[in-house]
Amino acid sequence: MKDISIYFKPTVISSSDCKGDLRNSALVYDDGGFPEIENKGVALIYVPENRKSPYSSLEGNEDFRKQFYSFNRGDNWDFSIYDLGTIAPGETVDDTYFALSQVVSELVKRDVVPMVIGGSQDLLMACYKGFEHLERMINICSVDSSLDVGSPDSEISSDAYVSHLLMQRPCFLFNYANIGMQRPLVQGKDIHLFENLYFDICRLGTFNSDFRLAEPLLRNSDLISVDFNSIKNSETDPSKYSNVNGFKSDQICQIMKYAGMSDKMSCISIAEVHPDQSVSASNLLSQMIWYFVDGLAQRVGDFPIENKTRYKKFHVHIDDFDDDLIFYKSHKSSRWWLEVSYPAAEGSKYERHHLVPCNQIDYDNALKNKIPNLWWKTLQKLSHS
């Protein structure tokens, strides 16, 4: 195993600064040394790398840690919570990318979920590189008011990185989803690109109409990136954030909990955190972290990769189709999946992507002879891969 401690410096938050029991139960990199990573769990990582964002800052702000450690542990938190400290920005941004990718790769291999806090959203590229080392096809979800596509010919930045992601070779990206897009902030050509690539978009208005519609997208993701600026600025800090529309504080915490509950999710980033934000914004950030960890504690292990006998199976006949649509419903969580069959060699790298998280609305629509859109999009990605 690689020694990842070389990339970190210890946290400055002491036990005396904290009111809750989390600080004493977490394994924290402080003056006592770097924690031994022996068990599965979640690892808190702070990365104040903002050179590719409008902040252009390398300053750090650990107030969120102090507030997180003022909280108490939730129920059934029977896994390790590691606080690995801060990844100090390298001499160049690429140096920071390299360090973060190495850390993400090593932690995911050890069944520890990296939770990357801070930095600009282009750090998603470094997190993706961590999965690239594992040679695993993955799905990414961004919680963001914009799509951040940009051009592969221009320099990567916090609001222009997706095009660079798509140009990676070899490519290990199967699907990309967005939750929270606001149409005034996105160019039409970027939406058309997502449509042509059969990617998923859940607009902010759609989310507001029924927040459960976003849950399957989170459940289908291996890597999630949350833009802190996607939150309504009246809920955070109007002096530092510009989005007058966006998610409410309870909505973003619900998203974090759903993300944690996903058995497939292996890494999450909360980016675009202003290094000089208010105490109330840091408090919301700390609560987002808490709800994500609480979601991890509520995982039930029902992603049906191998043993489908533990699920109720539904066959739905569709007119003019030779084969029925196959749905699965978990006995543990009552969550739904849709099977998208496509001939592939045994052990195919797309094996994890034939069962697509959905909700009961998709099943109800199939009963009305309506093909779920996610079935079409997944089939297209499988057949063109």
Which residues on neighbouring strands pair with residue 80, listed in sequence order?
41
Spatial contact of 286 and 256, defined as CB atoms under 8 Å apart: no
Per-residue pLDDT at 339: 92
Per-residue pLDDT at 152: 84
Per-residue pLDDT at 97: 96
Q: Give the whole-angstrom CA distance, residue 136 versus residue 329.
A: 26
Q: Name 161's Cβ contacts closer than 8 Å, sequence gap at least 6.
A: 121, 122, 124, 125, 148, 150
Question: What are the backbone angles phi and psi of residue 191, rounded to the nearest 5°?
Answer: -65, -45
Per-residue pLDDT at 17: 66
Per-residue pLDDT at 62: 84
How far does Cα 175 stand from its chain's mean position? 13
Kindly give the residue spans of alpha helices, DSSP state H, lying in 114-246: 123-132, 162-166, 188-196, 204-209, 215-219
Structural domains of the chain in order of their starting residue, each with its CATH number:
4-297 (3.40.800.10), 308-383 (no CATH)
Per-residue pLDDT at 101: 95
pLDDT in tens, the chain (385 residues): 689 999 999 988 766 667 778 888 899 998 889 999 999 999 999 999 999 888 777 777 888 998 999 999 999 999 999 999 999 899 999 999 999 999 999 999 999 999 999 999 999 999 999 998 788 789 999 999 999 999 888 889 889 999 999 998 888 999 999 999 999 999 999 999 999 999 999 999 999 999 888 999 999 999 999 999 999 999 999 999 999 999 999 999 999 999 999 999 999 999 999 988 889 999 999 999 999 999 999 999 887 666 677 889 999 999 988 889 999 999 888 999 999 877 654 445 666 778 899 999 999 999 999 988 889 899 898 876 5
pLDDT, tens digit (0-9, with 9 covering 90-100), for 1-32: 689 999 999 988 766 667 778 888 899 998 88
Per-residue pLDDT at 92: 94
Per-residue pLDDT at 385: 58
Per-residue pLDDT at 306: 60
**The residue to which tokens 């009111």 are assigned:** 19
Could you tell me whether strands 325-330 and 336-339 are parallel, antiparallel, or unpaired per DSSP bridges?
A: antiparallel
Q: Give the whole-angstrom CA distance, residue 48 versus residue 100.
A: 12
Per-residue pLDDT at 345: 47
Radius of gyration of the chain (CA): 20
Predicted TM-score (pTM) of the model is 0.94
Calculate the alpha carbon distances from 107 to 11, 100, 116, 220, 261 in Å. Answer: 19, 11, 12, 20, 18
Per-residue pLDDT at 310: 80
* Three-class secondary structure of residue 116 per DSSP: strand
Q: Give the whole-angstrom CA distance, residue 229 versus residue 277.
A: 12
Burial letters 166-188, b for 16+ CB under 10 A, else e: eeeeeebbbbbbbbbbbeeebee
Spatial contact of 27 and 131, defined as CB atoms under 8 Å apart: no
